[in-house]
Chain A
Amino acid sequence: MNEKILLIIPAYNEEENILDTYNSIVTYNKENNTLYDVIVINDGSVDNTDKILKENKIPHVSLIGNLGIGGAVQTGYKYAKENDYSIAIQFDGDGQHDVAYVKDIIQPIINNKADMVIGSRFVQGSTSDFKSTKARQMGIRIISFFIKMFTKTKIFDVTSGFRAIDRNLIEKFANDYPLEYPEPISTTEIILQNYKVAEVPVKMRERLGGVSSIRSWKNVYYMINVLLSIIIIKFRRYK
């Protein structure tokens, strides 16, 4: 197995968590003899994130402005494409994701069973204690139902930010990636273009610090946008 694996960590004001997250990956690599590379995309943070990245020599790209999660992750995909990675994994910098599950989410790609693999809290076998709030779970269920209705594919954890993609999708996302609400929208788009999406159970922790990018008062707005986008994507024609 000669896969070149990159963990893309988007970071916006993550001074409290980013070093711990990076160290956990380095430690894991040492203990398990893996070679996961890391690139942190600093999305125009206004705290000490940039200083921490430089002082600890963490591999990073500092965006010259704030692009939001979609633009930041896409920068990671561009980096992955330029440096010829065969698998790119989106990984949160806030301590929610556990690097030990990376081997599970890359497995379906290595076995050619999927083009994208989503680390899921809700699929059978997930032992995740942390499953987010009731309201948010409800939202995720509704989006999941919509995606099923329009693509005939059941995805459980539609907003999971723990995802692996293969070389084809790295190339595709480097050129074209949704800037707003990227996770559910990109998933819907690629299913309709006949890419295979798999879900594997992972355990997620509660955020160690900082503020989630989805704030509660924005949830209704988020839902309306995502659901409308899914409908519109269905009406697009793909070559």
Chain B
Amino acid sequence: MPINLRIMVFIVALILALTIYKVLKHGLVPVKYSLLWILSIIVMLLIAVFPNFLIFISKAMGFVTLANMIAGVFIVVLFFITISLTIIVSTQKKRITLLVQEVSLLKENIKKE
């Protein structure tokens, strides 16, 4: 893995880490939803620092190049993040429906009295 690529991966990981740090600091996202992101950043940093180990793994798994394995792994990670987001959104939808129903019924009851 060329040294300039390693430096770039390292810098991108640092920028991502900084972004997530800021998001967490301002309380925009609860820590539990950021765990997958943090894990991804740690993996990126490991790639930049110890590329040889990863090259060994990717060879062992049958990837032609390290870049293919990295892309593959990140697609899987993004899949899981998307699924967890879908679950969160669906739960929110149910709660909003419940709120709309209860508030609307309450409004009607108040009008009657």
Chain A residues contacting B102 (CB-CB under 8 Å) are: 78
Closest residue on chain B to residue A61 by CB atoms: B108
Residue-wise, chain B 89-105 has the 8 Å CB interface mask toward A (1 for contact) of 00001101100111111
Bound together, the chains give a CA A179 to CA B95 distance in angstroms of: 12
Asked if residues A78 and B100 are in contact (CB atoms below 8 Å), the reply is: no
A81 CB, min distance to chain B CBs, angstroms: 10
B69 CB, min distance to chain A CBs, angstroms: 33
Chain B residues contacting A63 (CB-CB under 8 Å) are: 100-101, 104
Please list the residues of chain A having a beta carbon within 8 angstroms of any beta carbon in chain B.
60-65, 67, 71, 74-75, 78-79, 82, 179
Asked if residues B105 and A67 are in contact (CB atoms below 8 Å), the reply is: no
A75 CB, min distance to chain B CBs, angstroms: 5
Chain B residues contacting A71 (CB-CB under 8 Å) are: 97, 100-101
Closest residue on chain B to residue A71 by CB atoms: B97
Bound together, the chains give a CA A78 to CA B100 distance in angstroms of: 12
Please list the residues of chain B having a beta carbon within 8 angstroms of any beta carbon in chain A.
93-94, 96-97, 100-105, 107-108
Chain B residues contacting A64 (CB-CB under 8 Å) are: 100, 103-104, 107
A218 CB, min distance to chain B CBs, angstroms: 19
Bound together, the chains give a CA A34 to CA B91 distance in angstroms of: 42
Asked if residues A61 and B100 are in contact (CB atoms below 8 Å), the reply is: no
A12 CB, min distance to chain B CBs, angstroms: 14
Asked if residues B108 and A67 are in contact (CB atoms below 8 Å), the reply is: no
Asked if residues B105 and A79 are in contact (CB atoms below 8 Å), the reply is: yes
Chain A residues contacting B100 (CB-CB under 8 Å) are: 63-65, 67, 71
The contact sample of 29 A-B pairs, CB cut-off 8 A, is A60-B108, A61-B104, A61-B105, A61-B107, A61-B108, A62-B104, A62-B108, A63-B100, A63-B104, A64-B100, A64-B104, A64-B107, A65-B96, A65-B100, A67-B97, A67-B100, A67-B101, A71-B100, A74-B97, A75-B104, A75-B105, A78-B101, A78-B102, A78-B105, A79-B105, A82-B105, A179-B93, A179-B94, A179-B97
A171 CB, min distance to chain B CBs, angstroms: 15
Chain B residues contacting A78 (CB-CB under 8 Å) are: 101-102, 105
B108 CB, min distance to chain A CBs, angstroms: 5
Chain A residues contacting B104 (CB-CB under 8 Å) are: 61-64, 75
